[in-house]
Amino acid sequence: MNLWLKIGLLAAAQLAALAAMIADKQWTLNTGTQVVLQTEPVDPRSLFMGDYARLNYAISRLRLDGDEGIGGDKEFARHDAVWVALRPDPAGARAVSVHRERAAVPPGLLALKGEVLYVSDYDWDRVTSKSIKRRTLQVRYGIEQYYVQEGTGRQIERPQGGEKVSILAAVDARGKAGIVGVLLDGQMKYRETLF
Both 66 and 90 in one domain: the answer is: yes
C-alpha angle 174-165-58 in degrees, rounded to nearest 5? 55
Name the residue range of residue 72's domain.
Answer: 61-140
pTM, full prediction? 0.76
Both 67 and 132 in one domain: the answer is: yes
pLDDT digits (tens, 9 = 90+) for 97-124: 999 999 999 999 999 999 999 999 888 7
CA 96/CA 82 separation, integer angstroms: 13
pLDDT digits (tens, 9 = 90+) for 12-65: 999 999 888 888 888 888 888 888 888 775 544 554 555 677 888 989 999 988
The pLDDT value given to residue 43: 46
Question: How many residues are recorded in the chain?
Answer: 195
Both 11 and 69 in one domain: the answer is: no
22 in helix, strand or coil?
Answer: helix
Both 90 and 125 in one domain: the answer is: yes
Q: How buried is 121 (Cβ within 10 angstroms: 0-12 exposed, 13-18 middle, 19+ buried)?
A: exposed
> Phi and psi for 182 in degrees, rounded to 5?
-110, 130
CA 158/CA 42 separation, integer angstroms: 7
100 and 73 Cβ atoms separated by less than 8 Å: yes
88 and 70 Cβ atoms separated by less than 8 Å: no
Both 134 and 155 in one domain: the answer is: no
76 in helix, strand or coil?
Answer: coil
CA 163/CA 161 separation, integer angstroms: 6
Q: How many CB atoms lie within 10 A of CB 173?
A: 11
Which residue(s) pair with 114 in the sheet? 82
pLDDT digits (tens, 9 = 90+) for 137-192: 999 999 998 877 676 666 676 677 778 888 999 999 999 999 998 888 888 888 87
Domain count across the chain: 2
Both 66 and 51 in one domain: the answer is: no
Closest CA to 134 of 118, 122, 117: 122
Both 169 and 191 in one domain: the answer is: yes
